[in-house]
Amino acid sequence: MTSAFRAAAAAAALAGLAACAPTQPGLPHDGTGFEGGVPFGTYTIVGFGQEAVPTRDGHVRLTPGQITGQGPCNSFTAINTLPLPQIHVSQMNWTDNPCGHKGFEARFFEALTQASEAEWTGGVLKLKSPLGWMTLERSGN
């Protein structure tokens, strides 16, 4: 009887430990790693459609399932429901600070909400949107 009790206790302990073990390694949230050939990290917008963005005051950070960043005056957080390189923003929230750059910033935020694809080529990230391609350069993790 004692042997059966010990065996049952050992089996229960192993089952409890197995439940704590990760089933697969998770994706990093520190801006390192890749998904679908697109590196996670922080990027600076340098072009929007046919326009250059010489002020370089728009930033995007890609992490698993999330796109965050800031425009010239406001920051944003978006949920990406598809694995990269596909993009589908299901929800995007941003601050609403007064801004003299509202024209660019509004187009930038609207283009991000409508983005459908990320492309990493030659060290440049391009985000496809019906409002035009956004061209971004890597600026950090």
d(CA 119, CA 105): 22
CB contact at 8 A, 110 and 123: no
For residue range 84-115, list pLDDT tens digits in order: 999 999 999 999 999 887 688 999 999 999 99
CATH class belonging to 27-140: mainly beta
Read off the pTM.
0.76
- Residues with Cβ within 8 Å of 33's Cβ and at least 6 positions away in sequence, in order, are 27, 39, 40
Residues of the chain scoring pLDDT < 50: 1, 4-5, 7-27
pLDDT of residue 47: 95
pLDDT of residue 13: 46
pLDDT of residue 20: 44
CB contact at 8 A, 42 and 140: yes
Q: Where are the domains of the chain?
A: 27-140
pLDDT of residue 101: 72
CB contact at 8 A, 41 and 136: no
pLDDT of residue 126: 98
